[in-house]
């Protein structure tokens, strides 16, 4: 093999090597926390997958279901970027405001005393209606931002990003003013509720709520794919991604297409907020976390690619969950979490090989 060929195959070899090391480590090497003492470098929360398969499967399931939530949020982000090259830095704010609106609607629909709503008190409609209202409200906010501020800056990407940062700054402050700093929780409906519904998977009991998130995410993914690939409007959007001037020249009202995709992208952010608020709760600074999540997913997967968002979500979820569960915990320094470092390493590795992400294409 020539030197160039070796260099070309190096990334694949490195990837295979890294994954193999990680697998061997997780499958065989790690140990559970011993009864006495703090253990050694092999000590982790669960021990190896061979000795403790159930926790291993829980971690796999957690990763896949978390990837579902990541995908819902990131797909809206990537849809907007793919067509308009607009980076919506307010995506995290849309997520959070969607959650808060759903929270308010759900509170008003149930006989709640103001807080501590549990899934047992919530039926299907008391979750679906808030979700729809929140998604619609957020899509209106997003459309307003696009028409009011972004439309006449089309093509000036940095300026658009700065505008959305300004909007997110204002929205974050407004949300603190209206919903305060105390964490709010939306309740899943009783049939899939957190702590009320469990699914039996071959002897393992697993929360329905996470499976529900995954099912909805798959539904959204399939729906988006069908919309983009099997309908006329989807065809126009895909054409617009490739060459929006040509589409415009062919007589398509490209501004209307932009508005529509911004509407859908924002609605997905808002719906993600409802999911995330039911799953983990809503508080100030959650907007920044979810903006970061969406960014990491689409940077890994490639901006503007739906498949990239799915792959990026899976990679990100697996890496962060597994490094949280299987990296050594032994240390006299309590609670150090190295998952953030591993996430960063993943990002750096992908970008070093493919600056536009796994499925990214140049503009």
Partner 1 sequence: MTRAAQLQSRVERIVGVVILLLLVLGPIGHTVFGSFWVNFILTQSLWLGIAAMSLIFLSAYGGMVSLCQVSMYGISALVLANVVTSGQTKGLHLGWDPWFGVVLAIAITTAIGLAFGALASRSFGIYFLMLTLTIAVLTNYFFGQVTLLSGFGGVGGIQSHTPSLIGNPNLQPDRLYYVSLVVGIAVYVLIRYIVRTPFGITLQGIRDDPVRMASLGYNVSLHRMIAFGFAAFVASLSGILYGWWIDTVNPGTVNLSSVIALLVIAVIGSLFRLEGALVGAFAYVYINNEVENHNWTVPWLGGTFNTMIGVIFLLIVCLSPGGLLGIWGSAFDWLSRHWKTTSPRLAAAAASGSEAVPPPVERTER
Point out which residues bind partner 1 (CB under 8 A).
85, 87, 89, 149, 156-159, 161-163, 165-170, 172-174, 176-178, 285, 288, 291-292, 295-296, 299, 303, 331, 333-341, 343-344, 347-348, 351-352, 355-356
Alpha-carbon gap, residue 84 to 63, rounded angstroms: 31
Q: How far is the CB of 163 from partner 1 (least distance, A)?
A: 5
When the beta carbons of 17 and 344 are compared against partner 1, the nearer one is 344
The distance of closest approach from Cβ of residue 110 to partner 1 in the complex, given in angstroms and rounded to an integer, is 26
Give 39: exposed, middle or buried? Use CB within 10 Å, 0-12, 13-18, 19+. Answer: middle
DSSP 204: E
Rounded least distance, CB 129 to partner 1, Å: 26
Q: How many CB atoms lie within 10 A of CB 31?
A: 18
| Residues 146/213, Cβ–Cβ less than 8 Å | no
> Which residues are registered as beta bridge partners of 206?
199
**Least distance CB 96 / partner 1 (angstroms):** 12
Question: Sign (positive/negative) of CA torsion 101, 102, 103, 104?
Answer: positive
At its nearest, how many Å lie between partner 1 and the CB of residue 292?
A: 4
Whole-number Å distance between alpha carbons of 132 and 276:
15
By beta-carbon proximity to partner 1, the closer residue of 16 and 166 is 166
Residues facing 200 on adjacent strands: 205
Residue position matching structure tokens 């997003």: 142
Nearer to partner 1, 126 or 164 (CB): 164
CB nearer to partner 1: give 254 or 299: 299
* Least spacing, CB of residue 352 vs partner 1, in Å: 7
Burial class (CB in 10 A: 0-12, 13-18, 19+), 177: exposed
Q: How far is the CB of 363 from partner 1 (least distance, A)?
A: 9
- Residues 6+ positions from 264 with CB-CB distance below 8 Å: 76, 79, 139
Compare residues 248 and 339 and give the one whose CB is closer to partner 1: 339
**Complex with partner 1: residue 263 or 291, whichever CB lies closer:** 291
Structure tokens, 159: 């300026």
Nearest to partner 1 of 240, 357 (CB atom): 357
Of 1 and 182, CB closest to partner 1: 182
CB of 95 to partner 1, least distance (A): 14
Query: Quick one: which H or E segment has residue 4?
Result: helix 3-24
CA distance readout (Å), 96 to 120, 288, 318 = 24, 9, 24
Closer to partner 1 at the Cβ: 187 or 296? 296
Structure tokens at 265: 């992208």
Bridge partners (DSSP) of residue 201 are: 204
Minimum CB separation from partner 1 for residue 167, in Å? 7
Angle at 126 between CA 222 and CA 80, to 5 degrees: 35
């Amino acid at each position: 093999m020539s030197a160039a060929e070796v260099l070309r195959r190096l990334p694949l070899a490195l990837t295979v090597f890294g994954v193999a090391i990680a697998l061997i480590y997780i499958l065989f090497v790690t140990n559970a926390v011993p009864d006495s003492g703090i253990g050694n470098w092999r000590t982790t929360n669960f021990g190896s997958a061979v000795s403790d398969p159930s926790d291993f499967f829980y971690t796999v399931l957690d990763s896949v279901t978390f990837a579902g939530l990541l995908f819902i949020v990131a797909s809206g982000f990537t849809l907007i970027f793919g067509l308009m090259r607009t980076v919506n830095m307010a995506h995290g704010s849309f997520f959070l405001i969607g959650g808060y609106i759903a929270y308010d609607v759900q509170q008003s629909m149930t006989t709640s005393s103001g807080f501590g709503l549990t899934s047992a008190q919530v039926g299907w409609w008391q979750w679906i209606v808030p979700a729809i209202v929140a998604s619609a409200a957020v899509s209106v906010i997003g459309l307003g931002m696009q028409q009011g501020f972004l439309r006449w800056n089309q093509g000036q990407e940095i300026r658009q990003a700065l505008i959305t940062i300004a909007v997110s700054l204002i929205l974050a402050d407004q949300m603190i003013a209206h919903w305060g700093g105390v964490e709010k929780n939306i309740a899943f409906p009783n049939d899939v509720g957190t702590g009320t519904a469990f699914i039996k998977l071959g002897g393992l009991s697993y929360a329905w709520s996470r499976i529900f998130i995954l099912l909805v995410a798959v539904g959204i993914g399939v729906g988006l794919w069908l919309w983009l690939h099997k309908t006329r409007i989807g065809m126009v959007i895909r054409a617009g991604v490739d060459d929006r001037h040509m589409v415009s020249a062919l007589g398509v009202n490209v501004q209307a297409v932009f508005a529509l995709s911004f509407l859908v992208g924002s609605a997905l952010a808002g719906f993600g907020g409802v999911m995330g608020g039911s799953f983990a709760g809503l508080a100030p600074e959650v907007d920044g976390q979810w903006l970061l999540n969406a960014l990491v997913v689409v940077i890994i997967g490639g901006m503007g690619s739906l498949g990239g968002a799915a792959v990026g979500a899976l990679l990100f979820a697996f890496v962060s969950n597994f490094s949280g569960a299987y990296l050594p915990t032994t240390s006299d320094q309590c609670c150090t979490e190295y998952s953030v470092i591993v996430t960063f390493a993943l990002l750096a590795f992908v970008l070093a090989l493919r600056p536009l992400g796994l499925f990214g294409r140049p503009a």
